[in-house]
Amino acid sequence: MRAFLTILGTQLRRDRWVLSFWIAGIAVFGLAVAAAIAGQFADEADRAAIVAISVANPAIVFARGLPDGSSLGGVAFFTGFAFTAVLAGLMSTFLVVRHSRADEETGRAELLGATPIARSTTLAATIVLGALANLVLVALLAAAYVAGGLPLEGSLTAALAVGGVGLVFVSVAAVVAQAMPSGRGANGASSALVVGAYLLRGIGDALGTPSDDLMRVTPSAISWLSPIGWGQATRPYTEPTLLPLLLSLAAFVVLSGWAIALRSSRDLGSSLVPERTGRATARLGGRSVVGLAWRLQRATLLGWLAGSVVLGGLAGGLAPVIAEAVADNASLSALIARLTPGGSGDTTEVFIAALLGIGGILAGAAGVQAVLRLRAEEAEGRAELLLATPVSRVAWVGATSLVAAASVIIVTLAMGLATGAALFRSGGAADDVLTYAGAGLAHAPAALVFVAVTALIFAVAPRVTIALGWGLLVIGFVLGQFGELLQVPEWLQAVSPFFHTSAAPVVELDVVAVFVLLGVSAAGVAVALVALRRRDLTT
Amino acid sequence: MSPTPLIETSALTKRFGRATALDGLDLSVSDGEVHGFLGPNGAGKSTTIRVLLGLIRRTSGSAHVFGLDPWTDAQMIHRDLAYVPGDVSLWPGLTGGEAIDLLTSLRGGADPQRRAELIEAFELDPRKKARTYSKGNRQKVALIAAFARPARLYIFDEPSSGLDPVMESVFRQQVLRARAEGATVLLSSHVLSEVEQLCDRVTIIRDGVVVESGSLDELRHLSRTSFRVAGIADVDAVRSITGVHDVHAVGGSVEFEVDSDAIPAVLAAVAQQRATAVTAAPASLESLFLRHYSVTR
Ligand SMILES: Nc1ncnc2c1ncn2[C@@H]1O[C@H](COP(=O)(O)OP(=O)(O)OP(=O)(O)O)[C@@H](O)[C@H]1O
Ligand SMILES: [Mg+2]
């Protein structure tokens, strides 16, 4: 027990800044949303209108959350919960992988493994740390909601729902960390599961049944497959119940137990992915810096590609189904007709445009991750080996930026094509495939700006590249999704590259914006290449 | 020895924030020699090497490799250079063979025959993923990549750390072969037998400055001789001579070390004290290094 507490203390100490940052960030976001709703929609009628519009628009339901009544809390929960839950899931995931697989990979775990503690003690401590982090998050978040003007009981339930999602992903990541061979792989797979949970409940909610008064949606059974769906089912501000969280708790207990059992019976450093032997000599492609950059990014890119194809397939596949459901619902159709007098608001197109927007973020993430490889290569000492050959820094970073840009284009294009293809399958026109490929691609320029900015950070402040690279992408996402609601001044919203992306095909493509974004990206990479020649290699 | 140094630094300093890693380092490595680069942990060996490779930028002073500035002409220098770091980190997903081919291709391509010979000599399985290699095997990958394409200058930073004795001797053979082919080698090492066997000249640094430089014979000459004397009554007669160090009794004898210029005085004192047995031995390389390494800072 002493050893356990010592290890827990060490892990806590190591994480004190990262965790404070995550928890405070999530709580501030919660406070901002609650306060914004209370401030802007103080009038019940306004809230009822916005809820009705959302219920009528499955794209909003998919991307945002489950509408549940027009009370202040109900609207705040609908607006912010799913995203907050994703943040809690990511916080938990990264926490667990940092202390388990990543440490095993670097050999740190071996030092601890030689001390007289049980094999699974470190993992158990990490799981407890994860649970504690989520507990603190629940407390702070509940306080934030109350401070934002929401009722106490609902706020507590809502915060617990967020904590429940975090708790589930503590245990999910603990299992994934046993299975994957590298920290990067474990982080990738568990974050994909977090995003998967978000999408699953998105599908379930979008396919749900709107109530007659258009004040709420009853999710379809699919939402019950997602831990985020369980959180939504607590309905904090209408009929609060903690029963669905029993599912979260059960999942946490079972998965944690499984992870600990796996760890106790597994060799240190081994994974479920068997190590096979490979080629004795390199292919032609494996003999250049571009080849290396591509090789390092290949597996990750495949993951992003799969994600974007699934999302595109969903967009194209679900849109007609949803449009039909909306058409069948007389009160919904009437509302939509009233809202969009010109009639340009085709439900199908709006739904797809919203999902393609999420695809733009995915593409940005794929590109940013490709650039972040540079930092890993440098910090782990491989850049030293590479740069002692006649490869210039410019060639090294240039090659990686090229692969990052290719990743962005591949992901956006694949998403657009998948959308068009899915639409075509369900009876759309053949033209759609091209139209939507273009609509997907329209998100590439903004995503490329993130690639350039990350390269620039790497060139001038290598030690903070990873935190800032991801952080800026999240900020871009928040500004895009919540900027309006949070009444962020327009000039500040305009800082985010995604602000300048045209939501094709609903909106005409803004060609000037495309060229400006491309120009900014190119300039950013160029400055990065110059700046990089001026600094020391830093581990 | 050729008069044009292949590597030359003068008054080289490198600061990391407030910490000074190199504090006016003068290093000179001549064409065709194997140059040992020694010093205690944290002395600044790896830092010097990184400056010479253009991976980090010097704070002041000058550094030249092949007569070029390593910061501005890094690429040019790297065409004729092979480097093996002390702690080799490889791409986890690449096999050893792929890593070797990548690194040699970037330098212009390996000689296939030599590559095969080296893999055989170092007993490396090139089909294994780097993730599964042991420390010594990772080191071998980098060594094979370095030797598989002949270079004009080899820079090794503790290259044999983690190699077993058999592999260490393979490494030594390769260094000797490289020298026979006319290459120059800068070898940072903590293995004294390796230094003794391979190096023509050595430079010892401490706290970022050179404390000793020269051929091994010259250094030996500067060093002390160990005496073991039996039967002297008055130990203080010896102890009081300047240049005598480390006097201590062992059984019935006395042991001490003597600076080379104090030897006549010591011999006279020993004779006068009617010693019954005397052994004198040149200082081992080890004691030479220990003296330089352990002086209080
Ligand atoms: N990036 C850095 N930032 C700060 N200090 C550094 C950095 N790199 C090296 N140092 C410091 O510079 C000094 C010299 O380090 P260096 O790695 O060159 O030693 P070394 O002679 O190679 O030692 P060893 O024999 O242990 O390899 C050390 O005190 C080290 O702590
Ligand atoms: Mg060193």
- Cβ atoms of B103 and B115 closer than 8 Å: no
- Closest partner CB to B106 (pick from A181, A281, A391): A391
Q: Among A33-42, A322-331, A349-358, A458-467, whose mean pLDDT is lowest?
A: A322-331
Q: Which atom of ligand 1 is nearest to the CA of B50?
A: 18
Predicted pLDDT at A345: 57
Position B27: which residue type? L
Which of B13, B14, B46 has most ligand 1 atoms within 8 Å of CB, for mutation?
B46
Establish if A512 belongs to a structural domain.
no
How many structural domains does chain A have?
Answer: 1
CA distance B216 to chain A (A): 30
Q: What is the mean pLDDT of chain B?
A: 89
- Cβ atoms of A100 and A77 closer than 8 Å: no
User: Do B126 and B241 fall within a single domain?
Assistant: no
How many structural domains does chain B have?
Answer: 2
Establish if B230 belongs to a structural domain.
yes
Q: Among A66-80, A187-201, A489-503, B272-286, whose mean pLDDT is lowest?
A: B272-286
> Could you say which ligand is closest to the alpha carbon of residue B48?
1
- Cα(B103) to ligand 2 centroid in Å equals 22
Q: In chain B, whose CA is at the least distance from the CA of A283?
A: B98
User: Do B192 and B290 fall within a single domain?
Assistant: no
Establish if B284 belongs to a structural domain.
yes
The answer to whether the peptide bond before residue A181 is cis (omega within 30 degrees of 0) is: no
Closest CA to ligand 1's atom 19? B42
Q: Which atom of ligand 1 is nearest to the CA of A538?
A: 1
Closest CA to ligand 1's atom 30? B42
Verify whether the Cβ–Cβ distance A384 to B97 is below 8 Å.
no
User: End of a domain among B187, B204, B220?
Assistant: B220
User: Do B215 and B253 fall within a single domain?
Assistant: no
What's the rounded Cα separation, in Å, for the pair A107 and B86?
A: 17
Verify whether the Cβ–Cβ distance A384 to B93 is below 8 Å.
no
Position A513: which residue type? A
Q: Is the dihedral of CA B162, B167, B173, B179 positive or negative?
A: negative
User: Do B61 and B24 fall within a single domain?
Assistant: yes
More confident residue, B193 or B138: B138
Predicted pLDDT at B3: 59
**Residue B63: CATH number of its domain:** 3.40.50.300
CB contacts of B89 in chain A (<8 Å) are 380-382, 385
Q: What is the mean pLDDT of chain A?
A: 90
More confident residue, A499 or A136: A136
User: End of a domain among B220, B238, B263?
Assistant: B220
Phi–psi pair at B290, nearest 5 degrees = -55, -40
Q: Among A250-254, A347-351, B94-98, B238-242, whose mean pLDDT is lowest?
A: A347-351
User: Do B157 and B253 fall within a single domain?
Assistant: no
Mean pLDDT throughout A501-525?
88
**Residue B287: CATH number of its domain:** 3.30.70.250
**CA B260: distance to chain centroid?**
25
| Residue B51 Cβ < 6 Å to ligand 1 | no
Establish if A179 belongs to a structural domain.
yes
What's the rounded Cα separation, in Å, for the pair A531 and A462?
A: 11
Establish if B236 belongs to a structural domain.
yes
Predicted pLDDT at A97: 95
Give the list of residues 6+ apart from residue B63 with CB closer than 8 angstroms, or none.
Answer: B8, B9, B12, B51, B52, B69, B70, B71
Closest CA to B186 of B66, B18, B16: B66
State which of A76-85, A421-430, A490-499, B250-259 shows the largest mean pLDDT. Answer: A76-85
More confident residue, A267 or A516: A516
Q: H-type helices in A426-510, by residue range?
A: 431-441, 444-460, 465-482, 490-493
CA distance B95 to chain A (A): 6
Closest CA to A174 of A71, A80, A260: A260
Q: Among A205-214, B182-191, B227-236, whose mean pLDDT is lowest?
A: B227-236
Expressed as residue numbers, the domain containing A14 is 1-268
Verify whether the Cβ–Cβ distance A295 to B81 is below 8 Å.
no
Return the HEC string of B171-189: HHHHHHHHHHCCCEEEEEC
- Closest partner CB to A292 (pick from B88, B102, B108): B102
Confidence check: pLDDT of A477 > 90: no
Confidence check: pLDDT of A222 > 80: yes
DSSP A334-365: HHHHHH-TT----HHHHHHHHHHHHHHHHHHH
Predicted pLDDT at B115: 95
Verify whether the Cβ–Cβ distance A385 to B81 is below 8 Å.
no
SS3 (DSSP) at A245:
helix
| Residue B206 Cβ < 6 Å to ligand 1 | no
pLDDT digits (tens, 9 = 90+) for B11-64: 999 999 899 999 999 999 999 999 999 999 999 999 999 999 999 999 999 999
Confidence check: pLDDT of A343 > 60: no
The length of chain A is 539
Report DSSP state, residue B44: S
Q: Which atom of ligand 1 is nearest to the CA of B20?
A: 12
DSSP A167-223: HHHHHHHHHHHHH-SSHHHHHHHHHHHHHHHHHHHHHHHHTSEE-TTSSBEEPPGGG
- Strand segments (E) across B4-92: 5-16, 19-30, 34-38, 60-65, 81-84
Establish if A457 belongs to a structural domain.
no
Verify whether the Cβ–Cβ distance B94 to A295 is below 8 Å.
yes
pLDDT digits (tens, 9 = 90+) for B103-115: 999 999 888 999 9
Expressed as residue numbers, the domain containing B170 is 7-220
Report DSSP state, residue B95: B
Confidence check: pLDDT of B161 > 90: no
Closest CA to ligand 1's atom 6? B16
Mutate which: A384, A391, A400, A536, vs B, most B CBs within 10 A:
A384
Q: A227-263 burial string, b = 16+ CB within 10 Å, else e?
A: bbbbbbbbbbbbebeeebbebbeebbeebbeebbebb
Establish if A491 belongs to a structural domain.
no
User: Do B124 and B252 fall within a single domain?
Assistant: no
Between helix A393-425 and helix A444-460 the angle, nearest 10°, is 160
User: End of a domain among B220, B239, B261?
Assistant: B220
Report DSSP state, residue B90: -
pLDDT digits (tens, 9 = 90+) for A23-71: 999 999 999 999 998 888 888 888 998 898 888 888 788 888 999 999 9
Establish if B1 belongs to a structural domain.
no
Establish if A316 belongs to a structural domain.
no
Verify whether the Cβ–Cβ distance A287 to B101 is below 8 Å.
yes
Predicted pLDDT at B101: 94
**Locate tokens 């990067």: which residue?**
A184
Angle at A308 between CA A306 and CA A314, to 5 degrees: 105
Predicted pLDDT at B297: 43
Mean pLDDT throughout A279-300?
89
What's the rounded Cα separation, in Å, for the pair A218 and A67?
A: 9
Structure tokens at A239: 């009929």
| Residue B85 Cβ < 6 Å to ligand 1 | no
Mean pLDDT throughout B130-150?
93
Mean pLDDT throughout A325-354?
68
Establish if A173 belongs to a structural domain.
yes
What's the rounded Cα separation, in Å, for the pair A132 and A96?
A: 12
SS3 (DSSP) at A117:
coil
- Closest partner CB to B127 (pick from A280, A299, A535): A280
Over pLDDT 90: what percentage of chain A? 61
Bridge partners, B278 (sequence order): B229
User: Do B51 and B132 fall within a single domain?
Assistant: yes
User: Do B115 and B230 fall within a single domain?
Assistant: no
Predicted pLDDT at A341: 46
Position A185: which residue type? G
CB contacts of B111 in chain A (<8 Å) are none
What's the rounded Cα separation, in Å, for the pair A180 and A191?
A: 13
Pairing of strands B201-206, B34-38: parallel
DSSP A55-75: HH-HHHHHHT---B-SSHHHH
Predicted pLDDT at B295: 59
- Cα(A411) to ligand 2 centroid in Å equals 43
Establish if A495 belongs to a structural domain.
no
Pairing of strands B60-65, B201-206: unpaired
Confidence check: pLDDT of A211 > 80: yes
User: Do B176 and B230 fall within a single domain?
Assistant: no
Residues of B with CB under 8 A from a CB of A: 50, 53-57, 74-76, 78-79, 81, 83, 85, 87-95, 97-98, 100-103, 105-108, 125-129, 131-132, 142, 155
Establish if A74 belongs to a structural domain.
yes
- Cβ atoms of A242 and A98 closer than 8 Å: no
CA distance B163 to chain A (A): 19
